[in-house]
Structure 1
C-alpha cells in the first residue's frame, strides 16, 4: 500500500515521499497543484494514517487465519459538498484493491466513481437531514 509502484495501480494520484511518522504523502490534484499529506501513524505492514485536508484517513491491515483484512477509516471533521466525492473515491480505491488481489482490474474507474458518487450524495444528504 505504500510502495509507489504498486500505489500507482490503486490510487495513481498518490506518491509516498517520506515513509515515516511525520513523513509526507503527495497528492496530485490533477490541476497542477500538489497537496502534501502528513503521515500521523505508521506501523509497517499494519497501519498507515495520514491527514486528508482537515480529515484523517487510516488504513489498518489485520492478520487473520486465512490472510488479512483491510479496514479503511476516514475521520471526517465537517461534512461538506466534497464529502461524497471523497467517499466515492475511497470506495472505488477499495474495489480496485480487491480486484487486483483477485487478479482482475476495473477498466473504467471514472464510471465506477460516478455510480458510487450518486449513492454517496444521497447517503450524505440523509445524514445531513438527520442532523438538522
Structure 2
C-alpha cells in the first residue's frame, strides 16, 4: 500500500508492507551490506547509529553521503539520502512476521509516480529475497507501475 502524505510538513510517500519475517530478521536486511546488495537500489553502507555516515554508491557514479537520524534496533531506522529522508519502522505481528512502514520524505519537484514505482519494485525485491524466490524486480514492469501510481497519486 502506498499513499501520499506529509512528514513534518514536507511531501512524502508512505508504504506499508507485511513480511513473513520477524523484526529482528528484517532489521538485518535493512542494515547489513551483504543483505542490502540483493534488494536495495544501490550499494548502501550504513552503521545503524544516530549521527553515523551513510554511503550510497551507484556503479560508475560518485558516492553520495547521508546521515543516520534515528536508529532503534530492531524497530526504527531513519537516514538522509541527498535531500530525502527514509524512515523505516518495523513492528512484529502475532503471526511471527512483521509490518514494515517506509516513509520517504521527498525533495522538491520529485516525480511521485516514478519514486513510488521504484520503491514498490524494491520492496517486492526484499520480499522475494526474504522468501528465497528469484527477485521480481522485472524492469519490464516499470512503465506499468509508473502509470498505476500516476493514476493513484495524481
Q: TM-score range by the shorter chain?
A: 0.7 to 0.9
Q: CA deviation at 1:56?
A: 1.1
Alpha-carbon distance in structure 1 between the residues aligned to 2:80 and 2:126: 21
By relative contact order (CA 8 Å, sep 6+), the higher-ranking structure is: 2
Question: Unpaired runs of 5+ in structure 2?
Answer: 1-29
**2:100 aligned with 1:70, yes or no?**
yes
TM-score (norm 1): 0.78
| Bigger mean CA offset, 35-44 vs 8-17 | 8-17
Alignment of 1:44-123 (within 5 A): 44-67=73-96, 68-78=98-108, 80-123=109-152
- The structure-2 alpha-carbon separation of the partners of 1:29 and 1:82, relative to structure 1 and needing over 3 Å to count, comes to farther
SS in 2 for 1:10: coil
| Bigger mean CA offset, 12-21 vs 39-48 | 12-21
Which is richer in helix? 1
8 Å contact kept, 1:21–1:42? yes
- The number of residues matched between the two structures is 124
Alpha-carbon distance in structure 1 between the residues aligned to 2:60 and 2:115: 17
Which is richer in strand? 2
Residue of structure 2 equivalent to 1:9: 38
8 Å contact kept, 2:77–2:88? yes
- The structure-2 alpha-carbon separation of the partners of 1:62 and 1:83, relative to structure 1 and needing over 3 Å to count, comes to same
Q: CA deviation at 1:25?
A: 1.9
- The structure-2 alpha-carbon separation of the partners of 1:6 and 1:82, relative to structure 1 and needing over 3 Å to count, comes to same
Q: CA deviation at 1:43?
A: 0.9
